[in-house]
Structure 1
């Protein structure tokens, strides 16, 4: 796991966008994993600027959305498909037909989750997965207590997560109780995981994911088992890390050829 501590949220977004751009330059038909929380939104804005300004090409790319609320009507502005449509798809030249998400309206939820797993596998797997981090250590919507080997499935949200997401709805009461989310085992199959966290509220879960034990109490800690994880932080999110000075030293002195 590489932990990179940066001056602020813009630097975090820019470096994540660098990773996506580097991937697309060497593999134009890359498979991207998209998270729809707050942290990745500046990344999508930056990718949109690079597409408009320097022609960064998404025309051959495919994307899979990490999760989706269960039961929201099609086109609901709070759905993650709508968020990704506004924040990413509309800003670049990716074919909307190549942007896939879990079917939160499916009559047979287990079958829809299995089909989503199959679609990711049939696409060749995710090359780069963008991730955010919940204040309780969740990644995707794998809440504390999730199986570390879990696959795409329905999950019940904890109240803190619903409160954290109420700003995207008219009120807390409108936030769904259930979501479809890629499981931790599914996420771990992506070839490169890029997790972004900014702000002091993320300091404790950042410490737990990077320096704590691998445990279901902090689902994101399972990323310690992945061979290629990049954790991008601002100073506030990094403030509880015991090895912060080492992470800074390592990043400042890494070989120029290595990349993220």
Structure 2
């Protein structure tokens, strides 16, 4: 595992974008696992700027997103398909037909989860999987639970996740209570995992994920078992790792 300590959110975003762009340059037809939420926005903005400048191309890249809210149409301004279009896909030269997000409107969500698992398998899993980190340690929408769920599945969102996402909706009552999320098995099958974290409110989650026991009540702790994990975080998010003497790179 490699840990990169950056000064602030902008520096974290640039470092993460560097790692993703290097993967695309090395393997132009790579499979990128992508995440949503506020943390990767800066990374996507940087990738779009470099792509528009002609530094590299996404034309052959295929992507698989981690999750989608159950019940939201792709055109809903809080759906994760909409997020990906407006924050990345509409600004780069990727073929939209090569981008994949679970269907939150599927008539049979269980069948949609099975379809998505098969899709990810058929692509050979992600060459690089980008992850954010919830304050409760969730990755994707894999919430704290008694077991690690391997397959893509429908999950009931915890109140802490609903509260954290309420800022994107008119009110907390409008936040969907369920989501379709890639399971731990698909995440762990990625050849490399890139976890990004920013802000003091993520310091406990980062510490618990990498210094605590491997425990499904902190889903990100499973990453301790992955052979190639890169953590990029700003000083605030990594403060407890640094205080514990965990080696970091700058």
Normalised by the length of structure 2, the TM-score is: 0.96
Q: Which residue number corresponds to residue 231 of structure 1?
A: 231
Q: Where do residues 214-229 of structure 1 align in structure 2 (5 Å cutoff)?
A: 214-229=214-229
CA distance in 2, matches of 1:23, 1:242: 28
Q: Which residue number corresponds to residue 68 of structure 1?
A: 68
Q: Which residue number corresponds to residue 2 of structure 1?
A: 2
Q: Answer whether contact 1:147 1:184 (CA < 8 A) is retained.
A: no
Q: Where do residues 70-149 of structure 1 align in structure 2 (5 Å cutoff)?
A: 70-145=70-145, 147-149=147-149
Report Cα offsets for 1:199-247 as digits up to 9, x if no partner.
0000000000011010011100000000000011111011112566542
1:52 offset after TM fit, Å?
A: 1.2
Q: Answer whether contact 1:146 1:219 (CA < 8 A) is retained.
A: no
Number of aligned residues = 250
Q: Which residue number corresponds to residue 258 of structure 1?
A: none
Q: Find the residue that maps to 1:77 and give its secondary structure.
A: coil
1:169 offset after TM fit, Å?
A: 1.2
Q: Which residue number corresponds to residue 178 of structure 1?
A: 178
Q: Answer whether contact 1:238 1:244 (CA < 8 A) is retained.
A: no
| 4+ aligned runs moved over 4 Å, structure 1 | 242-246
CA distance in 2, matches of 1:146, 1:130: 24
Q: Answer whether contact 2:74 2:80 (CA < 8 A) is retained.
A: no
Q: Where do residues 127-206 of structure 1 align in structure 2 (5 Å cutoff)?
A: 127-145=127-145, 147-206=147-206
Q: Answer whether contact 1:203 1:236 (CA < 8 A) is retained.
A: yes
Gaps of 5+ in 1: 253-260
Q: Answer whether contact 2:163 2:172 (CA < 8 A) is retained.
A: yes
Report Cα offsets for 1:124-149 as digits up to 9, x if no partner.
21111110000001110011116325
Q: Answer whether contact 1:133 1:139 (CA < 8 A) is retained.
A: yes
Report Cα offsets for 1:99-137 as digits up to 9, x if no partner.
101111111111110110111111121111110000001
1:19 offset after TM fit, Å?
A: 1.1
Which range moves more in the overlay, 223-232 or 116-125?
Answer: 116-125
Q: Answer whether contact 2:130 2:195 (CA < 8 A) is retained.
A: yes
1:45 offset after TM fit, Å?
A: 0.1
Q: Which residue number corresponds to residue 53 of structure 2?
A: 53
